[in-house]
Structure 1
Amino acid sequence: MAKKTKRPAKTRIEDVANAAGVSLATVSRVTTGSDRVSSELRARVLKAASELNFELNGKGKAKIVAFILANRDVFNPFHAAVLVGAEAYCASRDCGLLFLSMHYGNNVPWQNLHLPAILERSGPIGAAILAGKNSQNLLDLLTHKGISFVVLGNNVVGDWRQSEYSALNFDDIEGAYDVTRYLQSLGHRYIWYVGNCQMPWFERRYEGYCRAMREAGLPPLLHDFESEGEDLGYLATKSILKSGASVTAICAGDDMAARGVYKAIHEAGLNIPRNISVVGFNDTEAALLNPPLTSVRVFTEQIGRGMAALAFE
């Protein structure tokens, strides 16, 4: 009777990383020909791959960059502006940009996530830009697949190993601090913050708001509402007004929430800014509101360009 011979386990990218003593992200960068790896680390990875008979299918510089918008509305104005910046940079480098939408849960094990089919195939896509709302499980999946990526760090929910990845961030905390100080300079003392602090960007902006309030000797006033977009601002403001609490200004966590704040104030027969002043964050809809909204400007197109530049390296 013939004996069954157990096949040797297939060498994986994790084995190369362990043998070289580097992270999976480093092996991924070597695979895609990134310039962001030192010659010493590159040599270690190549040596480990050779010893393990593992072929690093390097794609060289990206010919197409995937822009993955995760867990957000396709028409989200903030991410649309980031996309415009990324597309402009890619065009300047004779590189295509492919838009992909993806929805996944942040508690799903990475092994159970499914990427868009085009990313599962070998081809011209050399890197990915992660916009929208992301979490560690997708970062793990892309790393294990050997796909180089850059992520918008402000919008990663939950704990994540930021030092291991290419990420671009902007300062939510200081922006919220500055706009709250601006309201205080106008004489406002009853300033409410409206946001959903389960989301990290709202939570950081609340942190900046709180610092400004405490420095001014004022108590922070929070309406933390588990929603997003216009509904968040509208329902939170309706609740504040109904409670009879003192309010002379509202700091909305983003411009979409500010749109809802405007709606609730107008429905109550109140005037902006005579009765209540409103400020927002992101400067995506400021000019569309009446009166125009004062908002913290985030240079979204520059963020898109910066992320594309990191993805292209």
Structure 2
Amino acid sequence: MAKRTTRHAAKTRIEDVAKAAGVSIATVSRVATGSDRVSPELRTRVLKAAAELQFALNGKGKAKIIAFILANRDVFNPFHAAVMVGAESYCASRDCGLLFLPIHYGSNVPWQNLHLPAILERPGPVGAAILAGKNSQNLLDLLTYRGISFVVLGNNVVGDWHKDQHSALYFDDIEGGYDATRYLQSLGHRDIWYVGNCQMPWFDRRYQGYRRAMEDGNLRPLRNDFDSSEGEDLGYLATKSIFKSGEPVTAILAGDDSAARGAYKAIHEAGLQIPNDISVVGFNDTEATALNPPLTSVRVFTEQIGKGMAALAFERLTRPDLGPELITIPTQLVRRESCRALQPDSGTRALQTEATNHSPVSLRF
């Protein structure tokens, strides 16, 4: 018996219109969103091609929704929640909607094999996107191919990416790591450990600042690079392994507040006190006041980040032809009760022998 094959008509996509009109996908997107940066001749070609293909362009003017894409995050953590609050505040002030879209994808998957949420697969109300979470170049390539304007949180892009080709907002976590380390040094600390997972770009950037500060202070960098995606577990296990190693330690700089929370747990389990025995500094300042004692932390202005990314996205929503723009927001060290000054001749219950070798020490687990 012969096998019957039924061929269904393929759904027309935006790239089909672009190909038929002999223009880029970005040009079709501009026509769909009502941009005035398209010549009459190109606009006519796009509209004619869309009509022949029975493809509905958004003829109601400019799109008024920005997508907040949270990538590769299972938990909507305090950091990204605060960023989204800032983005929502800006969008509300511009009578623009904000649509939350969680997605998961692998950084090694070719961009041609990635799938966007259905609402982004077709021209419609979404005119631009904010990329939060953990992103990589393949998604940026796909969005560019689709003609979707976007702004990415530059701190959280993993792997090599074309920084000069995309609009991005950064917060200066390198300088934040530097300031936190210099503060601990000003209190007399010399055996300062950095705890993080430097496979992740945000932890690595903070380590860069920490290392520069240690070298400026003529001190050896001490890093426990712990391979974990869970911040609290990372801080807990990394701190326990430092104690087990027998290396001297009087202070810990944790790569984020979650890791600092884990460090608190390990320190307390060891029968030590914060800050009497060990001083602790965190990063992000998202949960610092919930810890006891309240945590000294590098404040990242998350709502300002959200507002800044939304502003960049809104500009590209109304003018998709705008070129890439980079913005960097500074950080601020907030001093609380988790750090204390060391007396020159005082001992602590934690190990604190003076290092005679300034070469870096790195533990890897």
User: Common fold, TM-score beyond 0.5?
Assistant: yes
Map 1:142-291; keep pairs closer than 5 Å.
142-228=143-229, 229-291=231-293
Map 1:1-313; keep pairs closer than 5 Å.
10=16, 12=18, 16-17=23-24, 32=33, 42=37, 61-228=62-229, 229-313=231-315
Question: How far does residue 278 in structure 1 lie from its aligned partner after superposition?
Answer: 0.5
Aligned position for 2:9: none
Q: Secondary structure, in 3 states, of the residue corresponding to 2:171?
A: coil
Distance in structure 2 (CA, Å) of the matches to 1:141 and 1:119: 11
More helix by share: 1
Distance in structure 2 (CA, Å) of the matches to 1:201 and 1:282: 11
Alpha carbons 1:68, 1:101 under 8 Å: kept: yes
Alpha carbons 2:87, 2:309 under 8 Å: kept: yes
Distance in structure 2 (CA, Å) of the matches to 1:31 and 1:285: 43
Alpha carbons 1:78, 1:282 under 8 Å: kept: yes
Q: How many equivalent pairs are there? A: 292
Alpha carbons 1:31, 1:146 under 8 Å: kept: no
Alpha carbons 1:16, 1:49 under 8 Å: kept: no
TM-aligned CA distance change 1:285 to 1:25, over 3 Å? farther
Aligned position for 1:21: none
| 1:269-307 C-alpha deviation (Å, 9 max, x unpaired) | 110011000001111011111101100011000000011
Question: How far does residue 193 in structure 1 lie from its aligned partner after superposition?
Answer: 0.4
Equivalent position amino acid for 1:191 in 2: I
Distance in structure 1 (CA, Å) of the matches to 2:18 and 2:304: 37
Question: How far does residue 16 in structure 1 lie from its aligned partner after superposition?
Answer: 3.2
Q: In percent, how many aligned pairs have the same letter?
A: 76
Distance in structure 2 (CA, Å) of the matches to 1:86 and 1:258: 27
Distance in structure 2 (CA, Å) of the matches to 1:61 and 1:74: 33
Distance in structure 1 (CA, Å) of the matches to 2:265 and 2:78: 19
TM-score, length of structure 1 as denominator length: 0.85
Question: How far does residue 33 in structure 1 lie from its aligned partner after superposition?
Answer: 5.8
Q: CA RMSD in A?
A: 2.5
| 1:139-175 C-alpha deviation (Å, 9 max, x unpaired) | 1111111211111011000111121111111111101
TM-aligned CA distance change 1:190 to 1:51, over 3 Å? same
TM-aligned CA distance change 1:54 to 1:204, over 3 Å? farther
Equivalent position amino acid for 1:290 in 2: N
Deviates more, 1:51-60 or 1:181-190: 51-60
Distance in structure 1 (CA, Å) of the matches to 2:32 and 2:159: 28
Q: Secondary structure, in 3 states, of the residue corresponding to 2:159?
A: coil
Distance in structure 2 (CA, Å) of the matches to 1:204 and 1:26: 37
Distance in structure 2 (CA, Å) of the matches to 1:185 and 1:27: 58
Runs of 4+ in 1 over 2 A off after TM superposition: 9-17, 24-34, 45-62
Q: Secondary structure, in 3 states, of the residue corresponding to 1:16?
A: coil
Q: Secondary structure, in 3 states, of the residue corresponding to 1:169?
A: strand
Distance in structure 2 (CA, Å) of the matches to 1:133 and 1:46: 40
Q: Secondary structure, in 3 states, of the residue corresponding to 1:104?
A: coil
Distance in structure 1 (CA, Å) of the matches to 2:287 and 2:301: 13
Distance in structure 1 (CA, Å) of the matches to 2:81 and 2:218: 39
Distance in structure 2 (CA, Å) of the matches to 1:70 and 1:242: 36
Gaps of 5+ in 1: 1-8, 18-23
Question: How far does residue 93 in structure 1 lie from its aligned partner after superposition?
Answer: 1.1
Q: Secondary structure, in 3 states, of the residue corresponding to 1:151?
A: strand
Alpha carbons 1:25, 1:165 under 8 Å: kept: no
Distance in structure 1 (CA, Å) of the matches to 2:282 and 2:126: 37
Alpha carbons 1:129, 1:308 under 8 Å: kept: yes
Q: Which is greater in Rg?
A: 2
Q: Secondary structure, in 3 states, of the residue corresponding to 1:130?
A: strand
Question: How far does residue 233 in structure 1 lie from its aligned partner after superposition?
Answer: 0.6
Alpha carbons 2:17, 2:28 under 8 Å: kept: no
Deviates more, 1:104-113 or 1:162-171: 162-171
Question: How far does residue 127 in structure 1 lie from its aligned partner after superposition?
Answer: 1.2
TM-score, length of structure 2 as denominator length: 0.74
Distance in structure 2 (CA, Å) of the matches to 1:212 and 1:47: 58
Q: Secondary structure, in 3 states, of the residue corresponding to 1:290?
A: coil
TM-aligned CA distance change 1:309 to 1:47, over 3 Å? same
| 1:195-217 C-alpha deviation (Å, 9 max, x unpaired) | 11111111111010000000100
Q: Secondary structure, in 3 states, of the residue corresponding to 2:102?
A: strand
Alpha carbons 1:28, 1:147 under 8 Å: kept: yes
Gaps of 5+ in 2: 1-14, 51-55, 316-365
Alpha carbons 1:28, 1:143 under 8 Å: kept: no
Question: How far does residue 50 in structure 1 lie from its aligned partner after superposition?
Answer: 6.0
